[in-house]
Structure 1
């Protein structure tokens, strides 16, 4: 197999990197240790719906949060998330 770019890791950063490079015309292969991607949430962050739409992330790869808690050493904020 020949390719221009190999991205190691099918997490959020790896998939965005692969999509960005592929959009520039390069052949890209993503190598992921797990059998499939997005089986469970593996990040401690969130992605804004506008970003999900911009990159065309399929719904089956999106884990929508019912609530969000943001913590720092000095404060914690909690939010209820809607459907949009």
Structure 2
């Protein structure tokens, strides 16, 4: 499992500042065990707050942009990700 996070803050505009967390790193950062993180993501997927993509042995999660960012403006990226979520409704 890989999670995107912003190294600086949620308004970071530089795509190079994005990194991925694996399940263990995420669990450590949020103070939960790996099994709890897995259960949380199952619930979040069910509530359409995150979208799962898979390629080979890698699973990545997209957080809905309305939950992830504190942006007042639309960007091409947020419009694209919202469209992906709409297609999975």
- State TM-score, norm by structure 1: 0.26
Which structure has more relative contact order (CA 8 Å, sep 6+)? It is: 2
Larger Rg: 1
Task: Please identify which structure carries the higher helix content.
Answer: 2
